[in-house]
Structure formats: C-alpha cells, structure tokens
Amino acid sequence: MKNINIKQPVKAILLLTICLCQFMASKAQTGKPSNHDSIYLITTNDGGEFIGKVISDDGREVVIMDRNKGKVILPKYAIKNMEIASQNNVVGNNIFHPNPHPSRYLFSPSAIALKKGEGYMNWFYFLLFQMHYGITENFSAGITTSWLLAPTMLNLKYTVPVADNFSVAVGGEVGKLYIYDDNVVSVGFVTGTYGTAESNISLNIGYGSYRGEGLTIATLSGVNRITENASIMGEFWFCQPKGGIPFYMGGPALRIFSGRKATFDIALLALGIKDDVSNNDSYVDGIGNYHEGTYTKKWKAYYPLPLLSVSYKL
C-alpha cells in the first residue's frame, strides 16, 4: 500500500492561513470603514459632537471629515458613541442628532420605546417633574411628582414593534394625587404610533379611575422635525367622565433642541368644557306666572393657556 504524505497539505493549509491573517490585518490597518460613504454621528466623552464621513479608523484613531470643522483626528479612547446616521437623522439635506426623548409629546406618550439604558428628565414650569428610563429595549419605567410629592405616580410602558415605522405600546400610571389622600388614581392606555422618531403621529386610548369614578381618555398627538434645532408638535385630548360633562384640552407646540441632550417645549393650549348656556333667563310675567329659563349644553373654550417644559437626556 502506498504511503500518504500529509506534510505537504498541512504546509499548504498553514501557509494559506498565515496569508489570510496578514491580509485581514493589512485591511484593518488601512483604516477605511466598510461603509465609507456613510455619514457618522460621533460624540466624545467631553461632550464634543462631530458629523461627517469617516476617512479612516485604525483602531487607535478615527479621522473624520466634519461638516463644519473639516478634517478632525479623534483618539478612540475619547469617543463615547459612534453611529451611522439613519433616516431618522435626516431632514432635507441636513444631518442632525436625534430627538433625545421621542417616547413622549407634551404629556401623552408615543409607542416609541426608549433604548435600554437611556432616560430623560422633564420639568413643567420647574414645578412638576418626570423621569423615564429604558430598562430593556421594549420596557421603560418612570415617575411623576412635584416638590410637594403631590402627585406621585409610577409610570410603566411596554412597546411592541409591529412593522416598519409602526409600533404599539401598552402601559399605565398608578399613584396618589395628594399626600394625605388614601384614594389611588390609576390610568391604563394603549397607543399606536406611525412614523419615525422625528416625525410621527399617535393615537392613544385610555381609561382612568379615581374614587370609584371612571374617565375615558382619547388623545391624538403628532410631531414633525422641521430643522436641525426645532420640531412642530401638537396634542389634543378628549375626556369623558363617567356620567359627567366631557371636556377637551390641546393645542400646538414648538420643540426647540439645545445641543444633543436638552429640549424646550413651548405650547399654547386651550381648554374646552361642555357647560350649560342660557337661552333665556327665568322671569315672571305680568300676571304673576313664573317662567323657567331654558339652557343648552354648548362648548365653552378657555385659551390661550401657555405651557413651558424642559427636558434633558440622562
């Protein structure tokens, strides 16, 4: 039987492996990213922001052609985050940092989830506070309170992505409106959102309960990023107390972006209440007969009600 010499095949395999490793190493050290035409968003540990095409990345330094600063060399240890700009970061021909908290409009939630480890704080007139945090990619929790701890509410939301640019979320709030009030207030809701994190529309249906009285809530909200530093926004609430008089609230708002983390929401709201409006007053005629006045329920609106809130990404 003829002996089989396995030394030559082994040598060939080793030589091929060495050549392949050298080729991969040389490719890594050329520093050109796999998608060299992409626009990157880079933030550094000291808060610096850079947007542009990455020229090279050798594992130690990243060279980026920033849209405003020109060619910039960044040490890898100084980079906090580096990501390719998505469609969410594009308005016209401009690239910008994304909305730091797309999970909420003025008050009403969207079905867009906070990413795991992300969160934000929100102040209304610096009197009412909210804080929300992404526990997983689909589940977030938060708290709403004030300097007087009234109200104090726990907020939960779970998001289910259904299709591209469409998500559904379920959630709720539970807590107390007053410190010395033993009654618990609770709200449950279902939200559907269509669109991106920058431009979308949401429909929210909810039901609340307090002191045994129910409240059906429907909200329609939307936002549209118009420039690098601003979005237009709107929110409309319709509420129907069980056995009570319905009312609505809402109006337009402007969200102004300050850097990568802070936003300012400025809104002019209206409050509408369906109340009794007199058609004619009660009177006594000339022969002493009393005539009861008649009333019709009509909408009465109160506006403008200014609102200011400040949010900061954690």
Q: What is the DSSP string of 124-185?
A: ETTTEEEEEEESSSSEEEEEEEETT--SEEEEEEEEEEEETTEEEEEEEEEEESSTT----E
- The C-alpha atoms of residue 103 and residue 193 are separated, in whole angstroms, by 10
Return all residues near 45 (Cβ < 8 A) that are at least 6 apart. 78, 79, 80
CATH of domain 33-85: 2.30.30.100
* 3-class secondary-structure state, position 116: coil
Q: What is the residue type of 253?
A: A
- Which of 240, 297, 296, 299 minimizes the C-alpha distance to 271? 299
| CATH fold of the domain at 119-313 | Porin (2.40.160)
In tens digits, what is the pLDDT along the chain, a chain of 314 residues? 444 454 454 454 445 444 444 444 443 333 344 455 678 888 888 878 888 889 998 989 999 988 788 899 999 999 988 888 766 666 665 677 788 889 999 999 999 999 899 899 999 998 999 999 999 999 999 999 999 999 999 999 999 999 989 999 999 999 999 888 889 999 999 999 999 888 999 999 999 999 889 999 999 999 999 888 899 999 999 999 998 889 999 999 999 998 778 999 999 999 999 887 777 777 777 787 777 777 777 888 898 999 999 999 98
- The C-alpha atoms of residue 29 and residue 145 are separated, in whole angstroms, by 53
Pick left, alpha or beta for residue 8 (phi over 0 → left; psi -120 to 50 → alpha; otherwise beta).
alpha
Where do the domains of the chain lie? 33-85, 119-313
